[in-house]
Amino acid sequence: MKILTSTFNTKYNTAPFAQIKLQDYQLAFEENIAKARAEVNAITTNPQAPTFENTIETLDFSGEALDRLSSIFFNLNSAETSEEMQKIAQDVSPILTAFSNDITLNEALFKRVKTVYEQKDKLNLNPEQATLLDKKFKSFSRNGALLSEDKKTRLREIDTNLAKLKLTYGENVLAETHNYQLHITNETDLKGLPEGTVEAAADLAKSKNLDGWIFTLDYPSYIPFVTYADNRELRKEIAIAAGKKAFQNNEFDNQEITLNIVKLRFERAKLLGYKTHSDFVLEERMAQNPEKVKSFLNDLLLKAKPASEKEFAQLTAFATELDGINHLEKWDGAYYSEKLKQKLFNFDDEQLKPYFQLENVLNGAFKIAEKLFGIQFNEVYDIEKYHEDVQTFEVLDFEGQLVAIFYADFFPRKGKRNGAWMTSFKPQYIKVGVNERPHVSIVCNFTPPTASKPSLLTFNEVTTLFHEFGHALHGMLANTTYPSLSGTSVYWDFVELPSQVMENWCYEPEALALFAKHYETGEIIPQEFVDKIKESASFLEGIATLRQVSFGLLDMAFHSNNPNEVIDIKAFEKATFEGTSLYPDVAENCMSVSFSHIFAGGYSSGYYSYKWAEVLDADAFSYFQEKGIFNVEVATKFKENVLSKGGTELPMELYKRFRGQEPKPEALLKRAGLI
């Protein structure tokens, strides 16, 4: 079995999809892990003294065959999977985790890394090398490699406990979500709800052998209910039920668990020498420290608050006019927002779709990339694919040099997971003087063509395509030496800049003229539609901003302070939300105990990054707007300082080199109509 190594007998060394058989993977993984292990062993048993080259650099280039195999396998497991493949994934995942743990816990390896790290000032490293050294060292130290044996033991205890607590936290939220149902037997209580929602509720009731309709706290049931149901009392009932998940002093209560998670995270950070959990997390973020994040959020709050209050007054006035309601409660927000939106922007996706034929939109994205970054996309038909729907492109620069291979996989099918994402089959890096070019892919689930119509995209799908295409550009234009610093391997509050910034072109008449043409008449999308798209995109942005900021501040309040001072979760939450709440508090509700993003998932001290990324992309795009959205000079600065640089330097430094200054929130506030 020689197929699944690192070089393939294919054009451009692309993944040999047509030659791979499912039954080959298991053995290929075993062989490639053994190979990678041998490569690491060669570093640790090297009789020569550790150097940057023989240790740090060699480590970064090790495991190449395994990485290629993993990317092929796991990309397909997302885009073209089967039960058989999922079974293999379950078998190989623990082996891969064990292998990566073996590296982090490899003391001989760490000793060599540490020796090099301690000499770093004398080594004359360039910025990329210095970053690589720092990253390698931290991958050990942040996992406790520098600790004494008893502290290491405690760290492992904490990690085990945290993993269990996070799991239980999530399970409790899930259990509480399923423990509630709103059973409706009177048809008039359904007034306002869309047909599809009612139908699903009837089906659910039927499946439980009940009459009438059942609504639950699952989002596809809950969100339409609070958005559309005219019956205010029932909206209140289901909203309060949602707000008190895991806050009912029953066996699924999360109050104690939440506090324990926060305390263990604090202890862990302390053990590793950090002031708080946020300090630990933010060390590897563009924002760098809690003070920066807090001042970022508070500044946004200060600037967005007047607009949010104005919007809230507008929404209240609308509710008064419509239903005589003078004080909005939490269960009124989504409902009146939707009604007001319908009143103000009476247009829908169906009117826009004819202007967004997939082929045109894709070509538009290509043309924009050509104008900005000097690259051309040529569809080719001699590269192996994993499914006939996949399109393949050679990406060339103006001199005809290969920049990347680009795969695009647009339509839903069995075996593809939901959503849209960018990934790669081969990273970019420079090895022994050869600049290996990347193989990048975007995978989406867009409206497929029918017998009579081509694929016509909703506007949301158009921005999604540009978003993923932006990530793809980050991958394709990469130009770094080391694979682990290449392309999208950047801090995660920086990774959405290239993707989100590309979305901005979808709102610009000059860009839309390139691709938004009616699929039958060829007419360019009318300006009136463009205006409505823009306006509706910033509808009630002030209220939404305040909400996001309040969640970010809550996250920081828990993780950037000493949690041993928190006694009562609800009181702590209420105090934190002071100054960011527009709606009255609901005494029987508590958000912190079902805030799975930060307590069961990986977003702790990271919630701010949603807004952070928006500030970045708006600020970056405002530079284009100043100089022209197709200005080559600005685009080149973006390419040279951001898109090609990956994670080779601190993102703030890269950004400043592109923009000439740190990002400011004004462009976002302006775009969102808040100032």
The residue ranges that bind Zn ion (CB under 5 A) are 499
Give the nearer residue to Zn ion in terms of CB position, either 469 or 658: 469
Q: Return the number of the residue (499 or 561) whose C-beta is nearest Zn ion.
A: 499
Closer residue to Zn ion (CB): 469 or 655: 469
**Backbone torsions φ then ψ of 13, nearest 5 degrees:** 60, 35
In whole angstroms, how large is the CA radius of gyration of the chain? 27
Smaller CB distance to Zn ion: residue 502 or 546? 502
Closer CB to Zn ion, 278 or 499, in the complex: 499
**Cα separation values, 493 from 176, 465, 498, 569, Å:** 32, 21, 11, 28
Closest contact distance (angstroms) between CB of 391 and Zn ion is 21
Give least dist CB 330 to Zn ion, A: 29
CA separation for the pair 485, 479 (Å, rounded): 10
Please count the helices (runs of H) and the strands (runs of E) in the chain.
Answer: 27, 9
Report, in Å, the least distance between residue 411 CB and Zn ion.
20
Closest to Zn ion by CB, 241 vs 286, is 286
Which residue, 132 or 442, has its beta carbon nearer to Zn ion? 442
Nearer to Zn ion, 176 or 503 (CB): 503
Q: Quick one: which of 614, 609, 633 has its CA closest to 623? A: 633
Token readout for 365 is: 């994205």
- Which spans in 50-148 are helix H? 58-61, 64-79, 83-104, 107-118, 127-141
**CB closer to Zn ion, 177 vs 486:** 486
Residue of minimal Cβ distance to Zn ion:
499
CB of 493 to Zn ion, least distance (A): 12
Q: d(Cα 615, Cα 303) in Å, to the nearest integer?
A: 13
Which residue, 428 or 499, is less far from Zn ion as judged by CB?
499
d(CA 266, CA 272): 10
How many angstroms separate the CA atoms of 61 and 68, rounded?
12
> Please, what is the minimum distance in Å from the beta carbon of residue 424 to Zn ion?
14
Judge whether 468 counts as a catalytic residue: yes
- The least CB distance from residue 497 to Zn ion, in Å, is 10
Residues found in the chain: 675
Q: 414, 409, 418, 413: which is closest to 389 by C-alpha?
A: 409
Task: State the nearest-atom distance from the C-beta of 469 to Zn ion, in Å.
Answer: 11
Nearer to Zn ion (CB atom), residue 318 or residue 603: 603
Which residue among the candidates 468, 496, 541, 573 is catalytic per the annotation?
Answer: 468
The rounded distance, in Å, linking the Cα atoms of 302 and 312 is 16
Q: Which is nearer to Zn ion, 498 or 552 (CB)?
A: 498
SS3 label, residue 471: helix
Q: Which two tokens stand for residue 371?
A: 């104008």
3-state secondary structure 236-304: HHHHHHHHCCCCCCCCCCCHHHHHHHHHHHHHHHHHCCCCCHHHHHHCCCCCCCHHHHHHHHHHHHHHH
Shortest distance (Å) from residue 400 CB to Zn ion: 31
Contact call for residues 300 and 665 (beta carbons, < 8 A)? yes
The tally of CA atoms less than 13 A away on the side-chain side of residue 627 is 14
Minimum distance, C-beta of residue 496 to Zn ion, in the bound complex (Å): 5
Q: Specify the residue for token string 């490899």.
A: 106
Minimal distance, residue 492 CB to Zn ion, in Å: 10
Residue 444: exposure state from Cβ atoms within 10 A (0-12, 13-18, ≥19): buried
Q: Is 396 helix (H, G, I), strand (E, B) or coil?
A: strand
- Write out the two tokens for 140: 């050990």
CA 14-20-24 angle, to 5 degrees, is 130
Report in angstroms how near the CB of residue 506 gets to Zn ion at its nearest: 15
Cβ–Cβ < 8 Å for 190, 282: no
Buried b (16+ CB within 10 A) or exposed e, 120-149: beeeebeebbbbbbebbbebbbebbbebee
d(CA 504, CA 483): 30
Instruction: Quote the least distance from Cβ 542 to Zn ion, whole Å.
Output: 24
Kind of pairing, strands 421-426 and 375-380?
Answer: unpaired
Give how far the C-alpha of residue 375 lies from the chain's centroid of Cα atoms, to the nearest Å: 26
Distance separating alpha carbons of residues 242 and 216, to the nearest angstrom: 9
Q: How many CB atoms lie within 10 A of CB 155?
A: 17
Distance CA 225, CA 215 (A): 8
Active site members: 468
